[in-house]
């Protein structure tokens, strides 16, 4: 980068934004570090928002990938504008989170936490009941408080502008101009202004814009049966499924978590529709007397309500179709950045934009050690911005992307880290290098194979619980059958 970077903006105050802010501050190389968070507290996707009514405002927009577009901006700044539904609606802006009351982490804190910020060993009653006093899972509010503490411990909370949405980030010359909108409590108008930076770290996450696949007949089905199609982002309580006939679509963590909550109160069996499960967990989460496994859905009939699967089997009279199909990236404030095939194009190591490395991303990966991998990304970005970390040439960065497309494929597999954890961690550590002598810059340790062992222990704990639940249900069925003889 030709220009020295002295002013850095961080977008988002969730886990990615928290570690990015800490890494930047500890480099002791920047005059200005500012954080912009659209909610009124830190925590990102771990903020519980039960007060916000949840629904999909337009299934068609989601399926056609037109949801969450950029908003119209004022002509001059600073200024005040009246609040409008298009700009202020949490539903149209997808500002509510996908957190529900009983949500817990799904990875051990030893590899989830950042290296200098351990997660407290405080367990919920639900966790202890399911997994015992040595359980590795933590309640959602504990995780949110942990994120918040990363800001407050170092005084970084003074750097955060809460209730502030970045509506536009535009590069003009050597500077990034951010157009900002603040919701002021008690005011019927929003305040808009602009600030200028040398670099940006995007840590806004990718768990807020639901991904729903384009399946034949789905849009007309939704129009005929409004409210029947849902996404796990809007799962709040199993009670909304009580007594209902439910189909859960998807094979990942959110799918089997939803299945095992819903089956306790819904009609049984619950139908699980998926192509294949996560390799790490296999079929164990779906093997249960109260769950019927079906292949992918191929058609929704809006006339009869019938759902057809790829094996030609069908199901009728469904009350809820719950998509547990993950999320799409969405950056309406970066109009020149176009998400392609569900991935962010032209990112080197999933962090640095190859056309302009003053634009960096933290937390835009999956299948990795969330959140720990964010630390490696954040330190690499901070060190490069400080002029201490080294990036290869643009040609080499482009070659990395091309090679990965060949090796891993496009879409979600491209930004999935598993199983090449060590290779990725070490690549970022090489970019970052060591902190400057005498500075407080964060030191990235070498990848520890024990982290993989801890990861495997978590998977085994969950698989063991599912197997026990299945065995218990099968015994109950046999007892019931014998009682009827």
**Per-residue model confidence as pLDDT tens digits over 402-413:** 999 999 999 999
Question: What is the average per-residue pLDDT within 184-195?
Answer: 97
Same structural domain, 240 and 154: no
What DSSP string runs through 290-313? Answer: TEEEE--EEEE-TTT--EEETTS-
Q: Are strands 327-328 and 209-210 parallel, antiparallel or unpaired?
A: antiparallel
Report the number of distinct structural domains present in the chain.
2
Same structural domain, 198 and 235: no
Same structural domain, 161 and 294: no
How does residue 117 score in pLDDT terms, banded at 50, 70 and 90?
very high
Same structural domain, 43 and 71: yes
Dihedral through CA 92, CA 95, CA 101, CA 103, nearest 10?
110
Residue 402 lies in a domain: yes
Same structural domain, 423 and 361: yes
Same structural domain, 246 and 291: yes
Residue 198 lies in a domain: yes
- Report whether pLDDT(2) > 80: no
- In sequence order, what are the residues at sequence separation of 6 or more whose Cβ sits closer than 8 angstroms to the Cβ of residue 465? 130, 131
Same structural domain, 292 and 178: no
Q: Which two tokens stand for residue 23?
A: 């890494």
Residue 117 lies in a domain: no
Same structural domain, 235 and 277: yes
Same structural domain, 381 and 339: yes
Residue 260 lies in a domain: yes
**Per-residue model confidence as pLDDT tens digits over 234-269:** 999 999 999 999 999 999 999 999 999 999 999 999
Reduced to 3 states (helix: H, G, I; strand: E, B; else coil), residue 396 is helix
CATH code, domain with 75: 3.50.50.60
Domain end call among 325, 353, 383: 325
Same structural domain, 55 and 154: yes
Share of the chain above pLDDT 70, in %: 99
Residue numbers of the domain that contains 280: 213-325
Other C-beta atoms lying within 10 Å of the C-beta of residue 65 = 15
pTM: 0.96
Same structural domain, 245 and 388: no
**Per-residue model confidence as pLDDT tens digits over 196-213:** 999 999 999 999 999 999
b/e burial code for range 120-149 (CB count within 10 A of at least 16 → b): eeebbeebeebbeeebbbbbbbbbbbbbbb
Domain end call among 385, 413, 432: 432
Same structural domain, 84 and 173: yes
């Amino acid at each position: 980068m030709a220009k020295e970077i002295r002013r850095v903006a961080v977008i988002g105050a969730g886990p990615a934004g928290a570690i990015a802010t800490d890494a930047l501050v500890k480099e002791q190389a920047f005059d200005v570090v500012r954080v912009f968070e659209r909610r009124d507290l830190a925590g990102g996707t771990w903020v519980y928002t039960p007060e916000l009514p949840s629904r999909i405002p337009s299934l068609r927009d989601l399926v056609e990938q037109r949801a969450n577009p950029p908003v119209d901006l004022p002509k001059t700044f600073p200024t005040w504008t009246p609040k409008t539904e298009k700009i202020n609606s949490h539903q149209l802006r997808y500002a509510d989170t996908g957190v529900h009351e009983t949500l817990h982490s799904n990875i051990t804190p030893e590899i989830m936490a950042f290296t200098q910020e351990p997660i407290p060993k405080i367990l919920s009653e639900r966790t202890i009941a399911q997994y015992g006093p040595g359980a590795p899972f933590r309640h959602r509010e504990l995780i949110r408080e942990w994120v918040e503490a990363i800001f407050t411990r170092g005084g970084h909370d003074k750097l955060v502008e809460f209730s502030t949405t970045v509506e536009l980030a535009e590069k003009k010359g050597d500077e990034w101009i951010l157009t900002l909108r603040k919701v002021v409590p008690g005011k019927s108008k929003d305040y808009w202004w602009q600030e200028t930076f040398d670099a940006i770290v995007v840590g806004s996450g990718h768990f807020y814009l639901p991904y729903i696949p384009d399946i034949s007949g789905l849009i007309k089905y939704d129009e005929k049966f409004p409210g029947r199609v849902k996404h796990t982002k809007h799962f709040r309580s199993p009670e909304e499924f009580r007594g209902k006939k439910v189909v859960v679509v998807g094979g990942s963590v959110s799918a089997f978590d939803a299945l095992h909550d819903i089956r306790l109160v819904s009609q049984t069996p619950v139908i699980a529709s998926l192509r294949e499960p996560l390799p790490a967990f296999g079929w164990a989460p779906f093997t249960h007397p109260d769950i019927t496994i079906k292949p992918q859905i191929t058609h929704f009939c809006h006339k009869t309500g019938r759902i057809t699967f790829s094996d030609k089997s069908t199901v009728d009279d469904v009350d809820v179709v719950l998509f547990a199909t993950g999320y799409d990236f969405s950056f309406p404030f970066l109009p020149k950045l176009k998400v392609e095939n569900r991935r962010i194009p032209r990112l080197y190591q999933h962090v640095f934009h190859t056309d302009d490395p003053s634009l960096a991303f933290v937390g835009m990966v999956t299948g990795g050690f969330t959140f720990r991998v964010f630390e490696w990304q954040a330190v690499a970005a901070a060190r490069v911005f400080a002029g201490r970390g080294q990036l290869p040439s643009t040609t080499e960065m482009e070659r990395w992307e091309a090679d990965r497309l060949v090796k891993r494929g496009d879409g979600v597999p491209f930004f999935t880290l598993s199983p090449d954890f060590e290779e990725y961690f070490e690549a970022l550590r090489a970019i970052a290098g060591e902190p400057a002598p005498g500075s407080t810059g964060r030191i990235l340790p070498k990848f520890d194979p024990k982290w993989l062992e801890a990861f495997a222990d978590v998977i085994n704990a969950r698989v063991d619980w599912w197997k026990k639940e299945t065995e218990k249900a099968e015994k109950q069925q046999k007892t019931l059958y014998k009682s009827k003889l």
